[in-house]
Structure 1
Amino acid sequence: MKLYVALGIILCFSCTISAQGVNESMSIEFNGKVLKISEPLIISVLIKDSESRPAIIFPEITGLEKRSKSATSAINIVDGRKVVDQTISQEYFAPKPGTYVIPEFSIPVNATRLFSEETSIVFTATGEEEVMLGSDAILPEPETGRETIFFSVQADKKGVFIREGFSLRISLYISEDAPVEMEFYRFNEQLQQILKKVRPAGCWEENTGIEEIVRRKVVITGKNYTEYNMYQSEFFPLTAGDINIPSVTLDMLVIDRMGTVNSEKRIIKSFSSKPLRIVVSQLPPHPLRDQVAVGEYRLVEDLSSQMVYPGESIRYVFKVEGSGNIAAIPAPEIQANSAFDFYPPDASQVVKRSAAGVTGEKGFNYFVVPRKDGKFPLGRYFQWIYFNTARVRYDTLRSVKILEVRGEDYKLGNISLSSSLGLYDNLENLDTTRKTINYKELLKNLTSAVAILLLIAMVWVIRK
């Protein structure tokens, strides 16, 4: 009898642990199974509800070239709580059309290991058999056309406006006909010292998250090189003035076989980058030049209803998409008026950091209550001024939606439309101390408690 009871407890305990161990918050995804030869295979690790971005190292895949890496964070407000989802992606390019078998692999993420089964990816021909090399990144020029090995700290722009982004890339380039064999020497220690010198002060940094040396084939001035990319970030200067990046040195371990098969000599050889200067200019005169966002943006908007009655609530989404410092995009400033009550918006954002720069979107979800009848172009209320780096001028994103309000003017009690903000009145008296219940965390704790009780019961039965 004791044996059956113990076996039952063990079975329940195993089921409980299995239920607790299933991690639905992390997964591995592919961007497709059939791709054009000009398109990359993108393997992504998705992590839900995580403020921090873990270091992810993707596998080497035989026959495919590992290239650019990107990191995307999406922020949403759910039941008054900020939820951050992370997506880390790695690109793989095929040298020619065909079917490529991706063997099963695992990726460690913090204390968890994610598994992917064996799968096949088909790359189809598109008429352009060659994949462009180096089209997604900054490529430097060696000082002389005869250099076979050189170290580079390179920016994609020589001059930017204040708060405009520029990419900084650190790579070692070795030509195919280089006459030496080399190995990296105390790399992590050297890289940290290099980054201390090259990271510009007074800048907002968006790091693409390179945790390993990424190798790829590139063509520079008609010569084939292998690039060993070790760092890339996008920087947004917060103050005007030149950014001067000094020359930095990378030590490599060079193997000299001294003309014999069984004898070799290892020496340390230094490679130095050229100093770099980036001019940061102030924006043209404007009353808001110290506040506006800088970049290339467009407006995407959504209105839950085109026609409502006074007092009936609607939702309006003002979403800014494009390239720039997405995280620093401010909300449109809306002046108080007697026609509408505008609640403070819920903000959401998606930021993608890649070799091509920082892109994404930031949305502002407004709760709106009309108080007067009539037709109202929302462009009167929703305007967003920014500095357009493509046109080198200030631009305005303005709503093109028109809201029709039908019926008698809406009054709340004895509120005067001309002297009150309506639904904002007595806002300070609302109870903001109530906390939302995290059911996911509650279930996890309950499962742990049940597992402990089952373990105690099993020990008690065995001892009896």
Structure 2
Amino acid sequence: MLPFIFRFLLLCVLLMGSYWAEAQVDATGQAEIELGKVAFPVNEYFTISFHLRGAPLERYSAFPDLEGFKKSGKSSTTTTRITGGQTTTELTITQRYAAFAEGEFVVKPFTMTVNGQVVRSAGATLKVGPVAAAQAPSATAPPGAGPLQGIGLLDQLFGKPRPQDYIEPHDNAFLALVADKNSVYVGEGVHIGLYFYLTPSDQGLLDFHNFAGQLPDLLRRMRQRTAWEEPFEEQEILPETIVAGGKTYLRYRLYEAEYYPLNNQSLVFPALPLQMVKYRVAKKPEAGSDNRLEGYKIYYSDARTVTVKPLPPHPLRDQVPVGNYQLREAIDRTTFRTGQVFTYTFRVEGEGNLAALSAPVLRARPKLEVYGPDVQQDLTRQGGRVGGAKVFSYRMVAQQPGVLPLDSVLSLVVFNPSTARYDTLRPEIRPDIGGSAKLASGFHGNPDDPFYADVLNNADNHLQPLDEYRNVRLYANLVLVLLAAIAGFGWWRKKM
């Protein structure tokens, strides 16, 4: 009886474990990583994608950083399939990478976490070749599509609609590449937006066609080899109402980014094509019929050139950050003593390429120890502007009393494109250092950890004998020997 009960309980445990495992898979879905083409020209993107099936996306870890490549925006695609009455949904998130130069690059094995699942990729070896020649898309049909055909019983009985029965109405739509500046300095940002405009009356005539498939080619044409690109987050394409030239338009924001020229070579953007669905309408509308015939039309933006001006002469012209910056400084205490550690924060705020903003120039000063900096960057892309703050935190220990002018220790030269002048960001805080402190050490623990804050700063700093721990070990061994002797004596008495 007992073996039967045991086998029954074991079977129940196995069934519950299988059910729990299936429930976990259903809750998190199935995820896998897919790498793009391993051989491609330098003017195309390499991609890393992950696919999630069977569950909504809750969270995922960051895509890896690749040596020799720069992240250049993400896109998402949702595919729904219905098979045998079963509906499955697959979400694909794709990260694009732009190569800095031609050559061979190694993508090391990496992992990502999707909905709590750890997904692995074996990596790959990438071969980036020279620039590929661009091919113009067809003006009458989508890429890869054959001639439009209509086959059905009604077509066989009554024939296809005759072309003269449909007309193509005039539309007021257009594609525009808009720059917020016609000329910039080297290092100054210029906002570039790709927009599609149409009038409210054109809504029934036009529709987007495979925009996700056209976007990579548009981005390839917009790439600038001599500029740093900061793309804005991709959002759902929704219309916004604007008024231009006294006329009301619906504007669709297709892509926007901030470009920072790296040298004085002009930024040249070619004419960009966008293929749209455009319907022809019936000359004699019939009740109960759609009364329109689907076709395609390509809209082209005008080519645009942004002139880049060199910076005015300056000894540090090639190293000076460019932007509308201002200094916000802070210090972590109000009283100071020699030998006591304090933290000084040099915070640069404003609009500009914060990624290229280097640390302030640090000058040595007698009787002053400086450690750091710890760097933190907060970047915001909003309203056609890229800005934020970059924070440099220093730990300092003064060994001499008196007023400490921090402007003699730190400074940062910047170029302001609005005024076309060089400015120097200098600290204004001048702490007054008093007498000696109890702990004169340049070591400073983590200020967010109460252990370091409460224990290390109050620890006894008197010297201890080198053989102190050796004596402790000796005493401990003697105690162990004594306990072993007592135990042996008790065992011997019990045997007697």
TM superposition score category, shorter chain reference: 0.5 to 0.7
Choose which of 364, 374, 391 in structure 1 pairs with 2:402. 374
* Residue of structure 2 in register with 1:236 after alignment: 260
Distance, in Å, in 1 between the alignment partners of 2:59 and 2:358 is 27
Q: Give distance in 1, aligned partners of 2:212 and 2:412.
A: 44
Conserved in 2, the CA contact under 8 Å of 1:371 and 1:410? no
Q: Find the counterpart in structure 1 of residue 141 from structure 2.
A: none
Mapping for residues 53-452 of structure 1, pairs under 5 Å? 55=75, 111-112=114-115, 148-178=172-202, 181-259=205-283, 260-261=285-286, 262=289, 263-407=291-435
CA RMSD of aligned residues (A): 3.5
Gaps of 5+ in 2: 29-56, 65-72, 79-111, 117-169, 444-496
- C-alpha distance after superposition, 1:327-360 (max 9, x if no partner): 2111111112213111121111111123321111
Give the Å deviation of 1:251. 1.7
CA apart distance, 1:265: 2.0
CA distance in 1, matches of 2:61, 2:415: 33
Q: Would the aligned equivalents of 2:365 and 2:409 in 1 still touch at CA under 8 Å? A: no
CA distance in 1: counterparts of 2:391 and 2:424, whole angstroms: 16
Q: Between the two structures, name the one with larger relative contact order (CA 8 Å, sep ≥ 6).
A: 1
SS in 2 for 1:315: strand
Question: What corresponds to 2:101 in structure 1?
Answer: none
**Are residues 210 and 411 of structure 1, via their aligned partners in 2, closer, same or farther at CA, if it must alter by over 3 Å?**
closer
Separation in 1, partners of 2:294, 2:195: 22
Percent of residue pairs identical:
28
Amino acid at match of 2:409: Y
CA contact (8 A) 1:159 1:281 kept: yes
Given that 2:270 and 2:304 are in contact with CA atoms closer than 8 Å, whether structure 1 keeps it comes out as: yes
Matched-pair contact (CA < 8 Å) for 2:348–2:391:
yes
Distance 1:199 1:170, change over 3 A: same
| C-alpha distance after superposition, 1:270-312 (max 9, x if no partner) | 2111111101111111111111111111111111123322111
Does structure 2 retain, via aligned residues, the 8 Å contact 1:149–1:173? yes
Q: Which segments of 5 or more consecutive residues in structure 1 lack a partner in the other structure?
A: 23-44, 59-108, 114-145, 414-421, 424-464
Deviation at 1:182, TM superposition (A): 1.5
Deviation at 1:174, TM superposition (A): 0.5
CA shift, 1:211, in A, is 5.0
Deviations 1:118-162 (A, max 9, x none): xxxxxxxxxxxxxxxxxxxxxxxxxxxx97211111111111111
Is the alpha carbon distance of 1:49 and 1:334 closer, same or farther for their aligned partners in structure 2, counting shifts above 3 Å?
farther
Cα separation, 2, equivalents of 1:357 and 1:57 = 27
What CA distance in whole angstroms lies between the structure 2 residues aligned with 1:47 and 1:54?
15
TM-score normalised by structure 1 residue count: 0.59
CA contact (8 A) 1:247 1:274 kept: yes
> 2-side partners of 1:46 and 1:356: how far apart?
29
Question: What amino acid maps onto 1:320 in structure 2?
Answer: V
CA distance 1:48–1:390, shift in 2 (3 Å):
farther
CA deviation map 1:396-451 (0-9, x unaligned): 111111111122699989xxxxxxxx99xxxxxxxxxxxxxxxxxxxxxxxxxxxx
**Structure 1 pair 411/354, CA: closer, same or farther in 2 (3 Å)?**
closer
Aligned equivalents of 2:395, 2:363: Cα separation in 1: 15
Distance in 1 (CA, whole Å) between partners of 2:113 and 2:245 is 42
Give me the whole-angstrom Cα distance separating, in 2, the residues matched to 1:184 and 1:409. 71
Deviation per CA, 1:223-254, whole angstroms, max 9, x where unpaired?
Answer: 11111211111111101122121112212121
- Kept in 1, the 8 Å contact 2:338–2:440? The answer is no
SS of the aligned residue for 1:293 comes to coil
| Bigger Rg, which one | 2
Distance 1:254 1:232 in 2: 25
Give secondary structure in 2 for the equivalent of 1:402.
Answer: coil
Contact in 2 for aligned 1:213/1:230 (Cα 8 Å): yes
Aligned length: 308
Contact conserved, 1:241 with 1:280, CA < 8 A, in 2?
A: yes
Residues 49-103 of structure 1, C-alpha deviations (whole Å, 9 max, x = no match): 7466865799xxxxxxxxxxxxxxxxxxxxxxxxxxxxxxxxxxxxxxxxxxxxx
Q: Please state how far the C-alpha of 1:192 moved relative to its aligned partner.
A: 1.8
User: In 2, distance between residues paired with 1:374 and 1:241?
Assistant: 51
Distance 2:438 2:318 in 1: 39
Flag as ranges the 4+ runs of structure 1 deviating above 3 A: 1-11, 45-58, 109-113, 408-413
Q: Higher mean Cα deviation, 385-394 or 189-198?
A: 189-198
Q: Secondary structure of the residue that 1:188 maps to in structure 2?
A: helix
